[in-house]
Structure 1
Amino acid sequence: MPRPSDAVRTVLGTAIKVRDHGLGGAIRSSIDDLAMWADVERPDLASLAADDGSVTILFSDIEDSTTINHDLGDRAWVRLLAKHDRVFDKALTAHAGHVIKTQGDGFMVAFAEPAHAVAAAGDIQRRLAKARSGSLLAGVKVRIGIHKGSAIQRDGDLFGRNVAYAARVAAQASGGEILISEAVLRSLPDEVEVIETREAELKGVPGIQRLHLVTW
Structure 2
Amino acid sequence: MTVLAVLLGLFVIATIGLGVVAIVLRVKLGRARAEVARLEEERLIVAAPTRRRPPRAIRRATYAVKAVAETADMLRTHGVQALVASSIDDLTQWLREDRAAVERATAPDGTVTMFFSDIEGSTELNVSLGDRAFVKVLTRHDEVMRAAIEQHHGEVVKTQGDGFMVVFRWPTDALRAALDVQHRLATDRGRLRTHAVRVRIGVHRGAVVARDGDYFGRNVALAARVAAEAEGGEVLVSNDLREALIDSTEFVFDDVREVELKGFTVTEQLWRVAPSPDDR
User: Identity percentage over the alignment?
Assistant: 46
Q: CA deviation at 1:9?
A: 2.2
More strand as a share of residues: 1
Q: CA deviation at 1:31?
A: 5.2
Q: Is the 8 A contact 2:237 2:270 kept in 1?
A: yes
Distance 1:191 1:95 in 2: 15
Distance 1:113 1:171, change over 3 A: same
Q: Is the 8 A contact 2:116 2:201 kept in 1?
A: yes
Bigger RCO (CA 8 Å, 6+ sep): 1
SS at match of 2:98: coil
Q: Is the 8 A contact 2:239 2:269 kept in 1?
A: yes
Residue 93 of structure 1 pairs with residue 115 of structure 2:
no
More helix as a share of residues: 2
Q: CA deviation at 1:45?
A: 3.0
Distance 1:149 1:125, change over 3 A: same
Superposed, which structure 2 residues align to 1:18-57 within 5 Å? Answer: 18=45, 30=52, 41-57=98-114
Distance 1:62 1:101, change over 3 A: same
Deviations 1:128-148 (A, max 9, x none): 00122xx32111100000000
Q: CA deviation at 1:44?
A: 2.6
User: What runs of 5+ residues in structure 1 fail to find an aligned partner?
Assistant: 1-6, 11-15, 22-26, 33-38
Q: CA deviation at 1:29?
A: 6.6
Distance 2:244 2:97 in 1: 22
Task: Give, as a single letter, the amino acid of the residue that structure 1 aligns with 2:41.
Answer: R
Q: 2:223 aligns with which of 166, 173, 188?
A: 166
Kindly name which structure, 1 or 2, has the bigger radius of gyration based on alpha carbons. 2
Q: 1:65 aligns with which of 118, 122, 132?
A: 122
Q: 1:147 aligns with which of 188, 191, 204?
A: 204
Distance 1:8 1:177, change over 3 A: same
Distance 1:183 1:40 in 2: 30
Deviations 1:81-107 (A, max 9, x none): 110011011101110000000000000
- Normalising by structure 2, we get a TM-score of 0.64
User: What runs of 5+ residues in structure 2 fail to find an aligned partner?
Assistant: 1-38, 55-95, 276-280
- Normalising by structure 1, we get a TM-score of 0.82
Runs of 4+ in 1 over 6 A off after TM superposition: none
SS at match of 1:179: strand
SS at match of 2:265: coil
Distance 1:112 1:19, change over 3 A: closer
